[in-house]
A and B are shown apart, each in its own frame.
Chain A
Amino acid sequence: MTALFDNIALALSTLRSNPLRSLLTLLGIVIGAATVVAMMSLTEGLRKKVTDDLSFLGAGAFQVQKYPAIGINLDWAKYRKRKDLTVEQGEALREHCPHVARVSIEAWAGPEKVTALGRSTQPNISVAGATSEFEQVNGYAVADGRFLSEADTELARRVAVIGADVADLLFPQGGAVGERIRIRNASFTVIGTLERAGSVLGLASKDTLVVLPMSAFALVFGKKHSVNLAVQAATPEDVRYAEDEVVAQLRRLRRVPDGEENDFEIFSNDSLTTTFNNLAATVAAATFGVCLLALLVGGIGVMNIMLVSVVERTREIGIRKALGARRRRVLTQFVIEAIVLSLLGGVIGVLLGALVAVGAREVYQVPASVPLWAVLLALFSASGCGLVFGIYPAVRASRLDPVEAMRAE
């Protein structure tokens, strides 16, 4: 125990005697550790937020659409060839699926520019053609006025419900309800505004939308649209049955032969979260690869500096051996020195990485939080690096002949 403390104290004193060189040597390890912590913090933050954000479907709801929601390397041609999902199919689901409570049939267009009273939004507004179910199934709530009614749809009324961002931009003084807005030269009367709903991962805002009755939407954007079907089960526990029923019904309606895969995409909050987590894990693994590379470079730096150190301190080693230091003692002295050096780099890297994570949180609104395991992983990898790359120089030191070593300058 005394020996361990002695060795650590010794290691620290050597670091202090050459701080700049030590710091430069550690750059690789600092970068490696910083990357681990920063990336892990970011993905961990995203992972937490994703569970909230991807719940843009209401509770117990799932979505059916022609194209997948997220994914990598998608074969878009394959999806384009699929038959459109139609309003009629959506209505059939309402009729024939016992565990389905509501189906929101939605057509989406945009991004569009929306204007009112000489004010204009950026051309980034999504326009939905929808029915009265839209509000509930998508988890929105009305702030002012009312949502679309069935009558609005049936009568093709030229009315609109606008998202919080749209309302703020076009009617900064409030009082949007009753005012008129224009989309592609068509004019609509605002009947309601929506409560702020936030964004998906700080990227896609859920408040930059305008909801029109399906019939009015068709007047502006045409009828040739594949619709999305947001389906809500009677209770959250019924989701599985509801999904089975919807799949069976749609396959029948769309005449998908047995044994062939669905010609539509069906996903829920959970499946989206899973998909995202897989994605995040891939990114994390790739990042860790980069970190290992940085640590490798850092480790070679450590080995280099330790070899230099052994040469510089040949005389010291000779003296220590002459006074009775065993081989193993000299070996551990230098290995511990390498570990302490690397660990120091690890600590600096962790602090730096945490700083980056906090910076990202402030600047990009990513809820980065530094997970303890990432800190431990970084420190562990750094000291492991010191151990591995410190052994060779330490062995060299421990093998020195005392008389020759003491003769060195």
Chain B
Amino acid sequence: MSSEESPKNSGRAAAPVQPEKTSREPSSTRSGSAHPERSSRGASGGSGVEGPLEGSVEVGADAAPALIALEEIRRTYHVGGEEVRALDGVSVAVGRGEWVAIVGQSGSGKSTLMNIVGCLDTPTSGRYRLNGTDVRGLSDDELADLRNKEIGFVFQTFQLLPRSTALANVELPLVYRGVPRRQRRELAEEALVRVGLEQRMHHRPNELSGGQRQRVAVARALVGRPALLLADEPTGNLDTATGEEIIGLFTELHEAGNTIVLVTHEPKLAARCPRAVRLSDGKVVADGPGVEVASLQLPRAVGT
């Protein structure tokens, strides 16, 4: 499959994907411009692996209020009389334009956190302000609009409509935004071209490989040009080359000023993110530059 994909990939790399943005060299910016910024901030905090509160205070001290401000978020599930604390007092702040990786072992609460950040779920206790507004005060419909217009979500399990084509799936957020038919078709096609699926637009999810489905999910998250992109393991099913393409896309978005929160199991990927937050048993155990958070926990992750 990768051999089949490679010519397309090279073709895609040649064409600028976002014409309105000044295209910088993706490889150079990833470690060049974004990373030093985070490193300097990490350095001022001290060791680089910090307590969560410290990190959030730091971002809160910036001139603009944080885009995502989580304070003491708890999310408990009750399963058969037993209490499961999926999130146990998480406080994280993410500034506008940041790119944050969330890492942690399976079951540590990453997806739960993403759902709350994505306004899909509400915390059992604690406060979540998105762009300064407490989401607790928002109605069901206001949350729906927020998800539709401001947030792009790549779900861990893709969550594609099984009976709809890739194109129809990608169109979906635009449908609920009220974009006219023709325009949303064009935008959806554009998004699918961006993830390298121009040959598979009219296929249904069950006619696509796992990696292709994942790319459809990414295209759907990108199509509405959301300010905040949440991706729960967006490269989990992809080979290195395709995964790299997706990360390239994210880099472009990041450079365009979008905020990205990305869950990943791959230490290499986390290391490339300007900032990473590590969860363990529903708690933030590390928050700092991606390289440091990823490398610090690497031995333990291998050990278990």
Contacts and interface: CB of A to CB of B under 8 A. Distances in A.
Interface of A: 2-3, 5-6, 13, 17, 315-316, 318-329, 402-403, 406
A402 B235 CA distance: 23
Interface string B145-176: 10111000101010111110000000011011
A15 B178 CA distance: 24
A9 to B, nearest CB: 10
B180 interface: yes
Given A319-B161, A406-B159, A326 B120 contact: no
A325 B159 contact: no
A321 B163 contact: no
> Which 4 A-B pairs give the minimum distances between C-beta atoms?
A324-B148, A324-B176, A326-B141, A326-B144
B140 interface: yes
B178 A2 contact: yes
- Among B115, B140, B155, B180: residue with most chain A CB under 10 A: B140
B58 interface: no
Given A322-B120, A323-B153, 12 more contacts: A6-B175, A17-B163, A319-B161, A322-B159, A324-B147, A326-B141, A327-B141, A328-B141, A403-B115, A406-B155, A406-B157, A406-B159
Interface string B173-199: 101111011000000000000000000
Nearest to A315: B159
A132 B119 CA distance: 97
Contacts of A17: 163
B37 interface: no
A111 B295 CA distance: 112
Interface of A is mostly: helix
B115 A319 contact: no
Contacts of B148: 323-324
Contacts of A316: 161-162
Given A322-B153, A323-B147, A403 B121 contact: yes
B120 A402 contact: yes
Contact of B145 (A3, A6, A319, A324): A324
A96 to B, nearest CB: 84
Contacts of B140: 326-327
A2 B177 contact: no
A324 B149 contact: yes
B152 to A, nearest CB: 9
Nearest to B158: A319
A332 to B, nearest CB: 12
Contacts of A3: 178
Interface residues of B, number: 28
B86 to A, nearest CB: 11
A161 B203 CA distance: 83
Contact of B176 (A323, A402, A403): A323
Interface of B: 115, 118, 120-121, 140-141, 144-145, 147-149, 153, 155, 157, 159-163, 172-173, 175-178, 180-181, 220
B21 to A, nearest CB: 25
B161 A324 contact: no
Contact of A13 (B159, B163, B178): B163
- Among B115, B155, B161, B175, chain A packs the most CB atoms within 10 A around the CB of B175
Given A323-B172, A326-B141, A2 B180 contact: yes
Contacts of A322: 118, 120, 147, 153, 155, 159
B147 to A, nearest CB: 5
A397 to B, nearest CB: 13
A321 B149 CA distance: 13
A323 B173 contact: yes
A238 B177 CA distance: 75
A324 B163 contact: no
A324 B173 CA distance: 7
B239 to A, nearest CB: 26
12 contacts: A3-B178, A318-B159, A321-B144, A323-B220, A324-B177, A326-B145, A326-B176, A327-B141, A402-B120, A403-B120, A403-B121, A406-B155
B168 to A, nearest CB: 9
A313 to B, nearest CB: 9
Contacts of B161: 316, 319
Nearest to A398: B140
Contacts of A328: 141
Contacts of A402: 120
Nearest to A5: B181
A323 B301 CA distance: 34
Contacts of B220: 323
Nearest to B180: A2
A398 B180 CA distance: 23
A261 to B, nearest CB: 71
A2 B182 CA distance: 11
Nearest to B160: A319
Given A319-B159, A324-B145, A329 B120 contact: no
Contacts of B155: 322, 406
Contacts of B162: 316
B172 A320 contact: yes
Nearest to A322: B120
A324 to B, nearest CB: 2
A320 B180 CA distance: 18
Nearest to A329: B176
Contacts of A326: 140-141, 144-145, 176
Contacts of B160: 319
Identify which of A13, A17, A315, A323 gathers the most chain B CB atoms within 10 Å of its CB: A323
A6 B174 CA distance: 12
A326 B176 CA distance: 8
A320 to B, nearest CB: 7
A3 to B, nearest CB: 7
A17 B148 CA distance: 28
Residue from A320, A322, A329 with most neighbouring chain B CB atoms (10 Å): A322
A328 to B, nearest CB: 8
Nearest to A402: B120
A327 B118 CA distance: 18
Most buried by B among A5, A17, A326, A328: A326
